[in-house]
Amino acid sequence: MAVLEELKEAIISGKRDAAKELTQKALDGGMKPREIVVDGIAAAMEVVGEKFRANEFYVPELLIAQRAMKQALSLMSEEDVDHIGTEAIGTVKGDLHDIGKNLVAAMLEGAGFKVVDLGVDVSPDQFVKAVQENSVNVIAMSALLTTTMGSMRDTVAALETAGLRDKTRVLIGGAPVTQSYADEIKADGYAPDAATAVEKAKALLPA
């Protein structure tokens, strides 16, 4: 267990090499990948999220922890990790801002989600295709421009048209997005930051 505590600390403080070495040490010691992900990596990202919300960490610390987390995860294969759910994430059509979206994606990955990252400028049809091609539980949309937010509504409508709305939950966020906008377009959840996005995404998973 000591190695997982050390791994947590390494990720929280953004020590990339140490995060990788400690993950390797845990694997060599016979620990199961799931245990390492849940009790080491996800636990560390939870602390990072709490510190971010408490204004103890800012975006640079988040990005540094995210890189350390990626190093730890790089030693796990897809089959090794028992994902808690699948999330397709993207910045909506017409919008190229991806810093916040990448943070949300990294936090979701650290929390044990399989993340299908569709990138930026993602059209409603691309979101629909992602749901059709992967067993997606939650679609996560990010928008930073007031002029592109409307694409979130279009994506909800496209999911309905494709007959996928009932089985797909929709989570939205980004600087101009609000809870009242989420209510207006009938999204299932809104999160103001990356840490809350993880909480909301977990709550949206089927029981």
| Sites of contact with ligand B1M (CB under 6 A) | 59, 94-101, 103-104, 140-142, 144-147, 171-176, 191, 193-194, 197
Nearer of residues 1 and 203 to ligand B1M, judged by Cβ: 203
126 Cβ neighbours under 8 A, 6+ residues apart: 90, 118
Residue 83 · residue 113 · CB < 8 Å: yes
Nearer of residues 141 and 185 to ligand B1M, judged by Cβ: 141
What minimum distance in Å lies between the beta carbon of 4 and ligand B1M?
26
What minimum distance in Å lies between the beta carbon of 32 and ligand B1M?
30
Tokens standing for residue 44: 């560390």
In angstroms, the CA 137 to CA 167 distance is 7
Nearer of residues 14 and 173 to ligand B1M, judged by Cβ: 173
In angstroms, the CA 173 to CA 193 distance is 7
What minimum distance in Å lies between the beta carbon of 107 and ligand B1M?
9
Q: Which residue has the tokens 């939870």?
A: 46
What minimum distance in Å lies between the beta carbon of 195 and ligand B1M?
7
Nearer of residues 33 and 174 to ligand B1M, judged by Cβ: 174
Q: What is the full DSSP assignment across 22-77?
A: HHHHHHHTT--HHHIIIIIIIHHHHHHHHHHHTTSS-HHHHHHHHHHHHHHHTTS-
What minimum distance in Å lies between the beta carbon of 116 and ligand B1M?
13
Nearer of residues 20 and 114 to ligand B1M, judged by Cβ: 114
In angstroms, the CA 124 to CA 54 distance is 34
